[in-house]
Chain A
Amino acid sequence: DIQMTQFPSTLSASVGDRVTITCRASQSIGSWLAWYQQKPGKAPKLLIYMASSLQSGVPLRFSGSGSGTEFSLTISSLQPDDFATYYCQQYNYYYTFGQGTKLEIK
């Protein structure tokens, strides 16, 4: 199985900050990487697919990059609605999620 390591597990930031979350795959997955946002009690919401493609309707402040084994999600200027938990997911060989990053208000 492909393992996904996501860090940091918790990130404290303020509105307006630029933040980056990193995800590492245990083997190369090409660009088969998605990022999800999840809020308490809700289903995950797809933000980014194929490592860097922005899902329709997702604000432009979200961006993704990387390929192979190293990936990142960047939020260019945090908004109050962005405080949530973020997960990476590989879908090169079936599916595996990272452990999640909780983005907290500083």
Chain B
Amino acid sequence: EVQLVESGGALVQPGGSLRLSCAASGFTFTTFSMHWVRQAPGKGLEYVSAISSNGGSTYYANSLKGRVSISRDNSKSTLYLQMGSLRAEDTAVYFCAREERSRELVHWGQGTLVTVSS
């Protein structure tokens, strides 16, 4: 069974940093591109970032470019999102998701909550 489990969400002060993790199991992690999507409280889904299966290619949404960095450790089957210069508007549930070969996002984690507040 495919499982994606996010962690690392926390209450952080404006301007702070945080690293989210997404532990994958039940599939061969090294063969799938992975994504981060976020959702602010009461708001819609917002696409964040993607990374190719070998980590050699990354993509960032314009709204977050320069403040986030996606990476993966294929030896640990884990996806990461390093976030910096956090703002109140970064408060959201952050989901990781697996990209299928046909490019849809079928499998998602349960999300981890990041709260940016003083």
Q: Which candidate, B8-16, B20-28, B39-47, B79-87, is the interface stretch facing chain A?
A: B39-47
Query: Are B95 and A43 in contact, with the CB atoms below 8 A?
Result: yes
Residues of B within 8 A of A65 (CB): none
A98 to B47, CA, bound (A): 10
Secondary structure call for the A interface: loop
Within 8 Å CB of A85, what residues of B? Answer: 44
Q: Are B45 and A87 in contact (CB-based, < 8 A)?
A: yes
Contacts of B108 in A (CB 8 A): 43-44
Q: Given the complex of chains A and B, what is the CA–CA distance between A58 and B61 in angstroms? A: 30
A34-B104, A46-B106 known; A95 and B44 CB under 8 Å?
Answer: no
Interface assignment of A20: CB less than 8 Å from any CB of chain B: no
How far is B95's CA from A67's CA once the two chains are assembled, in angstroms?
28
In contact, B104 and A97 (Cβ under 8 angstroms)? no
Please pick, from A46, A49, A95, A99, the residue contacting B47 in the complex, using a CB distance under 8 A: A95
Give the interface residue-count category, chain B.
20 to 34
Q: Does A55 contact B (CB under 8 A)?
A: yes
A10 to chain B, nearest CB (A): 13
Interface centre among A43, A91, A97, by most chain B C-beta atoms within 10 angstroms, is: A43
- A94, B59: Cβ atoms closer than 8 Å: yes
Q: Mark B34-55, 1 if CB is under 8 A from A, else 0.
A: 0101000000111100100000
Interface string of A45-61 (1 = CB under 8 A from B): 01001100001000000
In the docked arrangement, what's the CA distance between A18 and B95, Å?
Answer: 31
| B59/A87 in contact, CB under 8 A | no
Residues of chain A lying within 8 A (CB to CB) of residue B45: 36, 38, 44, 87, 89, 97, 100
